[in-house]
Chain A
Amino acid sequence: MRFVFLILAVAGLIGCKPSNKLSNTVVVYTSVDDVFARPVCEQFQKQTGIEVKLVPDTEETKSTGLLNRLIAEKARPVADVFWSGDPVRAAVLKAKGISAPFKAANPADATGRFSDSAGHWSALSARARVLIVNTNLVPVSDAPRSLNAFLDPKWKGKACLANPLFGTTSMHAAALFETMGEAKAKEFFEGLRANGVKMLSSNGEVKRRVAAGELAFGLTDTDDASVAMKEGKAVAMIYPDQDGAGTLIVPNAAVLIANGPNPERGKKFIEYLLTAAVEQSLAESEAAQMPLRPGVTVPSGVKRVEEIKTMAVDYEKLGARLEELSAGFLRTWAASP
C-alpha cells in the first residue's frame, strides 16, 4: 500500500517538474509524417549539436491538430518552428498573427513561386495530388488521366478520395473552388456523390483500399502512392490533368513562430530545412518528394516540379477559402450519406 502511494507521489513530483530545458534545443511542430520528418531532425541534431524536440501531427481520423495548439499557444509560444506539410496551414498562421517573417539567405524556392512574399513561410520539397490506380484492375494504358474521371459513369462506385474537411484533400477542394469557380466546383462535388465516389477517412486509407484492389483508383498524395509502390503493391501513380488545369502541387512550408522561445535556433533549423541536402534526402526517402531547388539530383521515378504542369493557385487565398468552405458547403457535403 505504502509502496503504491510512493509511486504516485513520485509520479506527481516528476509531473510538476518543468520538462523542457531550453538550453540548446529547438522545438519543432510538424504536420509532415513522422517517418519522414524524424530522420531529417536527427541529421540536423548530428550536424549542429542542437537537440530537436519534435512534435508530429496525426493522420488517421485526424486528431485535433497541431494548428489548434499553435493558435492556443499564441500568447506563450512553445514551438520555434512549424514545419508544415502544406502552405495553407502556414497561411492560416500568418493570418492569425502567429508566424514571424524570416527570409533565409539561400532559399530552396528561389523564384518565390510557392513561398510567402513577406517571408512568413518558405517553401521546400513538394508533394503533388495524384491519382493512385490499381494496375490489377486497370491497365496503366486505360488509367484515368483527369479528375473528371471521378464523374465518368464508367468508374461508378469504383473511385475514392479522403474527407475534404481535413488534410491535403481540404486544400485540394479549396483549390478546385478557386480555379473552377463556385458553381462548377459545387457541381463537381455533387457529381462525385452521384457517381458513387467513396469518401474515406484519410489519404492513407485511399492508398490502402486501392492497393488492396477494393477500389480501382483514388485521389491521394505522391508520398502515399510512392510508399505503396515501394511496398510492391500493384499500383501506378498518375499526375492528373496534364492536358488541362494541371496538377496541384503541395510544397512543404517552414514557418518561424513569432516570439518562440529559441528564435535563433529556429532560424538555424529553417536554414537547414531549405538546404539541398534535405531536399535530396526527402527525394530519396519513401516520401519521394520533388525538390524545388534546381540541380538537386532525384532518384528515378521522382519527378521535378518543372517536369509537370502545375495548377496555378494563390496558396495564401486558399487558407481563407478553406475556412469558408469548411463552415459551409464541404461540411454539409461530407456529412451527407
Chain B
Amino acid sequence: MTIAGLDSPFWFALGRSVLVGFTVAGGSLAIGWPLGVRIGLASFPLRRFLLALLALPLLLPSFLIAIGLSMLWRGFGGAMAVVWVFACLGVPLVTFAALAATLTLTRGQADAARLAGRERQLFRLALRAAFPLAGLAAALAGTLTLADPGPGQIFGWPGAASELLTSFAARYDRALATQQAVALAAVAALLAWPLAWKLAPEVAAGLFARDVNRPSPLRAPATTGWVFGVAGLFTLLPLFGLLKPLLVQRRPVSRAWSEVTRTATDTLLYAALAASVAVAVAFALAWAAGRSSARRRWLVTAALALLALPPALPALWLIPWSGRFTLGVALALRGLPLAILLALRAIGSMPPSWANAARVHRVPRATFLGRIALPWCARWAFPAAAISALLATAEVGTVLLLHPPGHASLPLAVFTIMANAPEALVAMLCLLYLALALTLAVTVQQIIRRL
C-alpha cells in the first residue's frame, strides 16, 4: 500500500518515530518541568555544579550517548533504549527551559503568590509561568528524535530517519529521501501546530519587569536533591559507559591529543560559522514576525518542522557547492529552530515604549539599533549562538558530506576512527571532546554574565 507515493514500511517506521517522539517529549516534560521550576526557586548545596553535570549530555552527539549506554548495559535495546538516549537530551533541555522561565519571576510576583497560599502557591505559579517554554522545549526534544537515525540503528528500533538513511546511503536515491523527508517534516508540522498555536504568542511576549529583584529562595526539601540526583544519574549513566574503557585500558593520551590538534581549529571554525549564520537568520525572521501572533505561530511551526528534517538531507543537495562556508550554512540549519525561539523571545520582550520614545526624541535609527536594540538582543543572541554552535559541532553527517578534504571536525574524527580503534582511544577522544564543548559553554556563560 502506498500513500503519497511512499510505501507502507516507511509509514510504519514513521509511526515508530512518532511514538518515540511523543514518549520522549512527554517523559522529558514530566521530569524536566517540575525539576527546572524547583531548581529555579530553591537553594541547595552544589546547585551550580549539579546543573553543570546535568548539562553534559547536551554537549554530546546522540550516537555517543547510545554507544555509551550499549557499552554500559550489553544486550539492552529496543524502543526503551532509544527513548532513554533521547531523554538524556530532552530532560536537561526541558529542565533548563523551565529554569530559565522561573528565573524571570520577580520578587513582587513571588511575594503575592506566597501571601495567597504560601510556598505551594508560589510553586504552582512558577509551574504555570514556566509551561510555555518548558512545553516548547519538550516539543523540540520530541521533534529532534524524528531526524536522528543513530540510536534507532544502534538499538534495533529503526524509525523514519533510518528509512531516509537507507534511501540515500544504501539506495543512493536522493529524490526518494527528499520525498520521505518532506513527509516527515509535514507530519512534524501537523503535530506541532496546536502547540505552536497555544504557546507561540506567550513565549514571544515575555515579560518586561520593572521589579528586577529576585524572589527569596525556598529552603529546598530533601526530595529536591534526591529528584535532582536521580534525574542527573539517569542522564549521566550512558557517559560512564562511554568512559569505562579508560579505567581498564592504557590511556592513549598523545594519539588522542594529536587528533584533537588536527581537528580543533576547523571544529571551532564550523561552530562559529554555523552560530553566526543561525543567529543572523533567526533574528531577521523574528524581526519580520514582529508582534503579530499569527506570524509568530507560523514561525514556531516552521521551526519545529525544520528540526524534524534530517540535517544530512539538505547537505546532499549542497554537495556541488561544498566548502567551509557552505558547511557553515548547512550546519546553521541544525541550530536555527532553537535560535528562532530565542530570537522571538528577545524581540517580543523588548518594550515597544523604547521605540516610541526614540521616535519622539528623533533618535537616529542606527543609534537606536546600536545602543538599545542590539545590546538587548545580545542577551538572547549569545545563548542562541552557543546552542547553535553545540548542535552544529555534534552533527556528523553534514560535515562528512561537505567538509573540504583534510579539514574534518573532531566529532567526525571520532566517528571515523571508532570503527577499529582501541576502545580506550575512542573514550579518550570523547573525553577531550567533552572538555572542548564544556570550555565553549563556560566561555559563553562568562560572556553573558558580563553583558
Chain B proximity of A96: nearest CB distance (Å): 8
Contact with B along A123-152 (1 / 0, CB 8 A): 000000000000000000000000000000
**A15 and B328 contacting across the interface, CB-CB below 8 Å:** yes
Q: B378 — nearest CB in chain A belongs to which residue?
A: A1
Which DSSP category, helix, strand, loop or mixed, fits chain A's interface? mixed
Q: Which of A36-72 contact B (CB under 8 A)?
A: 36, 53-69, 71-72
**A8 and B419 contacting across the interface, CB-CB below 8 Å:** no
Chain B proximity of A290: nearest CB distance (Å): 16
* Cβ-based interface call for B170 (8 A): yes
**A61 and B149 contacting across the interface, CB-CB below 8 Å:** yes
Chain B residues closer than 8 Å to A69, beta-carbon distance: 319, 322, 400-401
* Cβ-based interface call for B115 (8 A): no
A92 and B323 alpha carbons, distance in the complex (Å): 25
**B312 and A224 contacting across the interface, CB-CB below 8 Å:** no
Chain B proximity of A119: nearest CB distance (Å): 23
A65 and B173 alpha carbons, distance in the complex (Å): 13
A33 and B165 alpha carbons, distance in the complex (Å): 20
Contact with B along A197-208 (1 / 0, CB 8 A): 011111011001
Given A53-B406, A73-B319, A170-B170, CB of A209 within 8 Å of CB of B9: no
Q: A66 — nearest CB in chain B belongs to which residue?
A: B400
**B13 and A335 contacting across the interface, CB-CB below 8 Å:** yes
**A204 and B419 contacting across the interface, CB-CB below 8 Å:** yes
In-complex Cβ contact of A8 among B156, B276, B408 (8 A)? B276
**B74 and A209 contacting across the interface, CB-CB below 8 Å:** yes
* Cβ-based interface call for B309 (8 A): no
Q: Which of B139-171 contact A (CB under 8 A)?
A: 149-150, 153-154, 156, 158, 162-163, 165-166, 168-171
Q: Which of B294-324 contact A (CB under 8 A)?
A: 312, 315-316, 319-320, 322-324
A220 and B156 alpha carbons, distance in the complex (Å): 18
Chain B residues closer than 8 Å to A202, beta-carbon distance: 419
A69 and B447 alpha carbons, distance in the complex (Å): 39
**B419 and A165 contacting across the interface, CB-CB below 8 Å:** no
A11 and B327 alpha carbons, distance in the complex (Å): 13
A4 and B407 alpha carbons, distance in the complex (Å): 24
Chain A residues closer than 8 Å to B405, beta-carbon distance: 20, 27-29, 53-55, 78-79
In-complex Cβ contact of A163 among B153, B325, B328, B401 (8 A)? B153
Q: Which of B271-306 contact A (CB under 8 A)?
A: 272-273, 275-276
* Cβ-based interface call for B420 (8 A): yes
A61 and B9 alpha carbons, distance in the complex (Å): 20
* Cβ-based interface call for A16 (8 A): yes
Chain B residues closer than 8 Å to A224, beta-carbon distance: 420
Chain A proximity of B85: nearest CB distance (Å): 12
Chain A residues closer than 8 Å to B417, beta-carbon distance: 33-35, 56
A144 and B166 alpha carbons, distance in the complex (Å): 31
**B272 and A331 contacting across the interface, CB-CB below 8 Å:** no
A127 and B260 alpha carbons, distance in the complex (Å): 30
**A15 and B273 contacting across the interface, CB-CB below 8 Å:** yes
* Cβ-based interface call for A279 (8 A): no
**B168 and A64 contacting across the interface, CB-CB below 8 Å:** yes
**A58 and B172 contacting across the interface, CB-CB below 8 Å:** no
Chain A proximity of B245: nearest CB distance (Å): 10
* Cβ-based interface call for B396 (8 A): yes
Chain A proximity of B75: nearest CB distance (Å): 5
In-complex Cβ contact of B422 among A15, A68, A205, A231 (8 A)? A231
Closest 7 CB pairs of A and B: A59-B419, A72-B319, A53-B405, A53-B406, A11-B272, A19-B404, A326-B170
